[in-house]
Amino acid sequence: MKLSDLRTGEKGIIVKVMGRGAFRKRIIEMGFIKGKEVTVIQNAPLKDPIHYKIMDYDVSLRRNDAALIEVVSAAEFAETQQKKQNISPDTLTTPSNDELQKIAFHKGKIINIALVGNPNCGKTSLFNFASGAHEHVGNYSGVTVDAKEGIFMQNGYTFRIVDLPGTYSLSAYTPEELYVRKHISEAHPDVVINVVDASNLERNLYLTTQLIDMDTRMVIALNMYDELERRANKLDHRTLGKLLGSPMVPTISRTGWGIENLFDKVIEVYEEQEPDLRHIHINYGDALEKAITCIKNKLNKEVDIEKNISRRYLSIKLLEGDPEIEKFVKSIPNSQPILEERDKQCIQIENLLKEDCETAFTNARYGFISGALRETFEENKIQQVTNTQLIDLFLTNKVLGFPFFIFFIWLMFEATFRLGAYPMEWIEWIVEHIGNFVRAYMSDGPVKDLLVDGIIGGVGGVIVFLPNILILYCCISFMEDSGYMARAAFIMDKIMHKMGLHGKSFIPLIMGFGCNVPAIMASRTIESRNSRMITILINPLMSCSARLPVYVLLAGAFFPNNASAVLFGLYATGIVLAVLMARLFRKFLFKKEDVPFVMELPPYRLPTAKSIFIHMWEKAKQYLHKMGGVILIASILIWFLGYFPRHSEKSDIYNQQIAQTEQADIPTEDKEKIMGEIEHLKNIDHQENSYIGHIGKAIEPILRPLGFDWKISVSLLTGMAAKEVVVSTLSVLYTGESDENSQSLQDRLKENKNAAGELTFTPLIALSLMLFVLIYFPCIATVSAIINEAKSWKWGLFVIGYTCVLAWIVSFIVYQTGNFFIHLFS
C-alpha cells in the first residue's frame, strides 16, 4: 500500500520509494529508506501535508509525494493473512517488526518495468522472451497497440514487465505517444527499459533524449546487436551509456542473447549500485537553456506543484508548446505569469535562432545525439549491398512490385485451399465416424438427435475448416514477420491515395484478412482521425478468416474446379468495395485533410519458426475456443428451434399415409420409394412448422430476391454472432432430409430440393450467398471493436446498416443478372 493510505497512529515498513531523480534523492536523504519504520502522527483525510515520524524525527510530506512511497503495514499484513488462512480476526496476532521487515524485503524485490522504444525495435520479442508470453510480433510498425503485462523472475527478483506501443517520440501528437507518456508519469515504473535498434541508432536515440528529460531511471537495451555486428559497425556502448547517464546492454531479443545481462543490470539500477547511472541534462545550447532556466525559476517561485514532477521537463515541454503540459500547468492556480514568461521566451528564441521553438529543441536533440555518436560510433565505410536492398529491387519495383504482390496473395489462397484440403478430409472423416458411432450405439430419442444433428453436425461442420484457417494465418504471419507487409503497404500507397487514405491504412486492411477485431485496433497507429475512421469503417469488408469456412464449403461444392479463383475473387471484391466505400466516406463523411507521413520499410528478416508457430497455435486455440463457445451454443439453439414443436396437423396426415402405404398391396421396391418420398415431405413440413421455420419464413421475403430460401435466411440471421455459424446452421438445417445421414454437407447442399422439387442451391445462389456473407453484418465482436475505437454507438450502428444494405444490393445484382443470362441462354 501507499504511505499516504496509512491512518493516524499506524506504522509501516518502507518497501520502496518510487518517483524520479532529485525528488527521490531528497526523500531518501530524509530517511525514507527501504526497511525503515514510519509512524503516522497526523493524517486527517483531505488534509495536506501529512506528519510522520521516521528515525525519531518529525517530517511532513505532501499527500501526493507520500503516495510515491510504498509500505507494508500491520493492517495489510492481517488482511492478507486472513485471506490466506481464513482465520477469524480476533485470533490474529499483530506481526512482529521482524515479520513486517521480511514482507517489506520480499515486496521490495518486485520491480516494475516499462518497455519503451521505437516501433519495430524488438520490444515485444524481448517481452515474449523474458516473460514467456506469446504476444504478436511483426516486422512493421504499429503491431502492439495495447499495453501487455508479463511476469518474470531472475536472481530472486520478480519483474513485472509492461510492453508498451512503439513511439518515435514523447510529444502529444499521437494516442500512443500520450499513452506511453502517461504510463511513465502515472504508473511510475521502477525502471524503464529503453529498447533501441542498434542498426538505426540516430533515430532511436531521439526517444532516449526525451526519456532523459523526463528523468526516469533507465537501462538501455541495445537490441538487434547482431545486425550491428553483421554490418561491421563499431559502437563503444559503455562510453555511450556513460554519456547518456544510463547503462547500455547489448541484446538480441530474437534469440534471447544478452537478456539475462539486461535484467542483471536492471537489478543494479534498481538497487542503485550502477555507477554509470546519473541524471544528465541534455545541453540545448545557450539560448534554449536560458529560456528553460527562466521558466524553471518562475515555476519554482510562482506555483506550488508536486515535487515529483521535473521542473526542467515542464519548462522544456512548455517551450515546445506541448498542449497536454500546457493544460496541466493551466490547471494550477496562479499559473498565468508562467505562461506569459513562456510566450516571451518563445518570441526571443524565434528572433534569435530564426526557427520556432519546437524545431530548435528537435535540432538540439539531434545535435546532442550526433555528438555522442561521433565519439562512440564508427560506421563501416565499405558500403555493402544488403540483402534487403537486393530483394527490394524486385519486390518494390515500379513495374514488378504489383504483379509480385498479386502473385503472393494468390499463392496464399492456393495454399489455403489446396493444402488445406488434405487435413480437412481427415477431420471430416473423424467427425463422420464419431457421428456414425453415436448413431449406431445410442437409443433413438431427442438426446441422440441433439448429439448427432445439433452438436456433431453444427460444431463438426465448422471444425473441419481449422486447417484452412491455420494455413491462412501462417501465410499472413510470414508476410508480417518478414517485413513484406510493410512493402505491400508501400506498393499499395498509390491506390490508397486514390481512396483518400495512405499506405499505412493498408496494414489494418490486410490484417483484416485474419480477423477484423485486431485489425480495427491496429488502426490506432494512423495519426489523422479522419483517415483512421475511414480505415475502421471499411475494415469489415476485408474478408476475415471466419468467412473462409463459408467460402471453402460453397466454392468447393459448386465451383470445384475454380475454387481458389473464386476465393481470390471474393477477397478482391471485398477490397474493391472497400475502395469505393472509402471514397464515398471521404467525400461525404470525412473531408480531406493532409497529414504528411513517412512509412518505414524495415529490413527483411527471416521470421523464426517459433514465432510463426506461436502465432498459429494462438489462432488454433482461439478457433477451438469459439467452437466450444458461441458456435456450440448457436448449434444447440438452432437445433432446438428446428426440432420443436414435434407435432403439426399435417404430420398426422403423413403418418397416416405412411401407414396406408405400408399395408398397400404393391411391390416392396415401390413401397419403399413412396414411403421415402412421404418421409421427405414430412421432414420438410416439420422443419417449416418448427420455430426456426417460422422465423426463417418471416425473413425469407426480404432475401428471396437474392435467391435464398428460408433456411439460408436463418443461417444468415444466426451468422451475425460469428460468421462460421452460417456453416454450422446450414449443417444443422440440412441434416436428416436425406436417407443416408452420413453424406458430407457439400453433397447434402448440392442435392437438396425444396417441396416443389427444385434445387435449393445452384452455383449462382452459392455465389450470391458467398457475396452476401462477405459483405453483410460484421460479427458482434467487430461491431463492439468499432464502437470502442470510434468511441460512439453511432458508428457501430452505421456499419451494421451500410454493410447490410450493400450486401443486399450486390447479391441482388449478381443473382438477378445471372438469372437473366441463364434464362437467355437456356
Q: Which residue is nearest to ligand GDP (CB)?
A: 122
Question: Using a CB cutoff of 8 Å and minimum separation of 24, what contacts does 333-339 make?
Answer: 333/303, 334/302, 334/303, 335/302, 335/303, 337/298, 337/302, 338/295, 338/298, 338/299, 338/302, 338/303
Phi, psi of 152 (to 5 degrees): -160, 145
Exactly one of 37, 48, 79, 227 binds ligand GDP (CB under 6 A); which one?
A: 227
Q: Would you say 515 or 769 has its CB closer to Mg ion?
A: 515
* Partner from ligand GDP, Mg ion, none binding residue 735, C-beta < 5-8 Å depending on class: none
Residue for cell digits 534487403? Answer: 388
680 binds, among Mg ion, ligand GDP, none (CB under 5 to 8 A by kind): none
For the chain, the distance separating the N- and C-terminal CA atoms, rounded to the nearest angstrom, is 81
Which residues 6+ apart lie within 8 Å of 406 measured at CB?
none
Stretch that binds ligand GDP, among 131-139, 581-589, 622-630, 721-729 (CB under 6 A): 131-139
| Radius of gyration of the CA atoms of the chain, in A | 33
With contacts defined by CB under 6 A, name the span among 119-127, 378-386, 571-579, 698-706 that binds ligand GDP: 119-127
Tell me if 253 contacts Mg ion by CB under 5 A: no
**Could you say which of ligand GDP, Mg ion, none residue 320 binds, taking C-beta under 5 to 8 angstroms by partner kind?**
none
Sign of the Cα torsion 508, 509, 510, 511 reads positive
Q: Which does 481 bind (CB under 5 to 8 A by kind): ligand GDP, Mg ion, none?
A: ligand GDP
Is residue 14 within 8 A of residue 47, CB to CB? The reply is no
Report the C-alpha gap between 310 and 371 in whole angstroms: 25
Q: How far is the CB of 120 from Mg ion (least distance, A)?
A: 8
Provide the minimum distance between the beta carbon of 480 and ligand GDP in the complex, in angstroms, as a whole number. Answer: 8
Residue 145 beta carbon to ligand GDP: minimum distance, rounded to whole angstroms? 10
List 19, 108, 138, 796, residue binding ligand GDP (CB under 6 A):
138
**122 or 778: CB nearest Mg ion:** 122
> What DSSP line would sit under 642-705, residue for residue?
HH-----HHHHHHHHHHHHHHHS-S-HHHHHHHHHHHHHHHHHHHHHHSHHHHHHHHHHHHHGG
The count of residues interacting with ligand GDP (CB under 6 A) is: 23
- Sequence-ordered alpha helix ranges (H) in 51-174: 63-66, 74-85, 97-107, 123-131
- Nearest distance from residue 598's CB to ligand GDP, in Å? 16
Least distance from ligand GDP to the Cβ atom of residue 223, Å:
5
- Contact set for ligand GDP, span 566-625 (CB under 6 A): 605
| C-alpha to C-alpha distance for 562 and 555, rounded to whole angstroms | 8
Residues 6+ apart with CB under 8 A from 442: 448, 451
State the Cα–Cα distance between residues 271 and 293, nearest whole angstrom. 32
Compute the least distance from the CB of residue 521 to Mg ion, in Å. Answer: 13
Exactly one of 223, 477, 543, 687 binds ligand GDP (CB under 6 A); that residue is 223
Residue from 4, 144, 535, 715 in contact with Mg ion (CB under 5 A)? 144
121 binds, among Mg ion, ligand GDP, none (CB under 5 to 8 A by kind): ligand GDP
Among residues 10, 48, 79, 226, the one that binds ligand GDP under rule CB under 6 A: 226
CB of 251 to ligand GDP, least distance (A): 6
Measured CA angle at 624 (ends 620, 627), to 5 deg: 145
> What is the layout of strands, in order, in the sheet containing 11-17?
57-61, 50-54, 37-42, 11-17, 69-73
| Interface segment toward ligand GDP; rule CB under 6 A; list 112-120, 365-373, 445-453, 562-570 | 112-120
Q: In the set 15, 143, 292, 472, which binds Mg ion (CB under 5 A)?
A: 143
Residue 769 is a binding residue for ligand GDP (CB under 6 A): no
* CB burial of residue 419 (10 Å; 0-12, 13-18, 19+): middle
Q: 150 with 142: CB under 8 angstroms?
A: no
Binding partner of 752, given Mg ion, ligand GDP, none, CB within 5-8 angstroms per partner class? none
Residue 250 as a binder of ligand GDP (CB under 6 A): the answer is: no
Identify the residue among 139, 310, 690, 768 touching ligand GDP (CB under 6 A): 139
> Which of 120, 169 has the CB closer to ligand GDP?
120
CA distance 661 to 671: 7
Considering the complex, state which of residue 387 and residue 817 has its C-beta at the smaller distance from ligand GDP: 387
Taking Cα atoms as reference points, which of 279, 195, 268, 287 lies closest to residue 245?
A: 279
Decide: residue 345, CB within 10 A, 0-12 exposed, 13-18 middle, 19+ buried.
buried
Which one of the spans 250-258, 462-470, 627-635, 663-671 is the region binding ligand GDP (CB under 6 A)?
250-258
Residue tagged 484478412 (cell numbers): 513
Establish if 253 lies at the interface with ligand GDP (CB under 6 A): yes
Residue 137 Cβ, how far from ligand GDP at the closest point, in Å?
4
Q: Which three cell numbers stand for residue 380?
A: 563501416
Q: Is 40 in the site for Mg ion (CB under 5 A)?
A: no
Question: Going edge to edge, which strands form the sheet with 110-117?
Answer: 148-154, 157-163, 110-117, 191-197, 218-223, 248-250
Cell of 536: 475502421
Q: Nearer Cβ to ligand GDP, position 169 or 689?
A: 169
What is the identity of the amino acid at 407? Answer: F
Question: CA 150 to CA 130: how far, in whole Å?
Answer: 8
Name the strand (E) or helix (H) holding 556: helix 548-558
Binding string, 151-190, against ligand GDP, x = CB under 6 A?
---------------x------------------------
Selected binder of ligand GDP within 27, 116, 143, 244 (CB under 6 A): 143
Q: Which stretch binds ligand GDP (CB under 6 A): 236-244, 248-256, 307-315, 368-376?
A: 248-256
Using the rule CB under 6 A, is 120 a contact of ligand GDP?
A: yes
Residue type present at position 230: R
> Candidates 26-34, 57-65, 139-147, 219-227 — which segment interacts with Mg ion by CB under 5 A?
139-147
Rounded CA separation 686/545 (Å): 34
Q: Tell me which H or E stretch contains 623.
A: helix 609-626
Give the nearest distance from C-beta 375 to ligand GDP in angstroms. Answer: 24
Q: Which of 20, 24, 123, 502 binds ligand GDP (CB under 6 A)?
A: 123
Please, which residue, 253 or 689, has the CB nearer to ligand GDP? 253
Asked whether position 481 contacts ligand GDP by CB under 6 A, the answer is yes
**Ranges within 109-138 binding Mg ion (CB under 5 A):** 124
Residue 162 Cβ, how far from Mg ion at the closest point, in Å? Answer: 12
Binding mask 761-800 for Mg ion (x = CB under 5 A): ----------------------------------------
3-state secondary structure of 369: helix
DSSP of 174-230: SHHHHHHHHIIIII--SEEEEEEEGGGHHHHHHHHHHHHHHT--EEEEEE-HHHHHH
The smaller minimum CB distance to ligand GDP, of residues 4 and 210, is found at 210
Q: Would you put residue 515 in left (φ > 0), alpha (ψ -120 to 50) or beta?
A: beta
Please tell me whether residue 24 binds ligand GDP under the rule CB under 6 A. Answer: no
C-alpha cell at position 27: 526523500
Choose the one of Mg ion, ligand GDP, none that binds residue 641, judging by a C-beta under 5 to 8 angstroms depending on kind. none
| CA angle 107–108–110, rounded 5-degree value | 70
224 lies in the binding site for ligand GDP (CB under 6 A): yes
**129 versus 710: smaller Cβ distance to ligand GDP:** 129
Task: Work out what residue 223 binds among Mg ion, ligand GDP, none; the CB cut-off runs from 5 to 8 Å by kind.
Answer: ligand GDP
The residues that touch ligand GDP, with contacts defined as CB under 6 A, are: 117, 119-125, 137-139, 143-144, 166, 223-224, 226-227, 252-254, 481, 605
The residues that touch Mg ion, with contacts defined as CB under 5 A, are: 124, 143-144
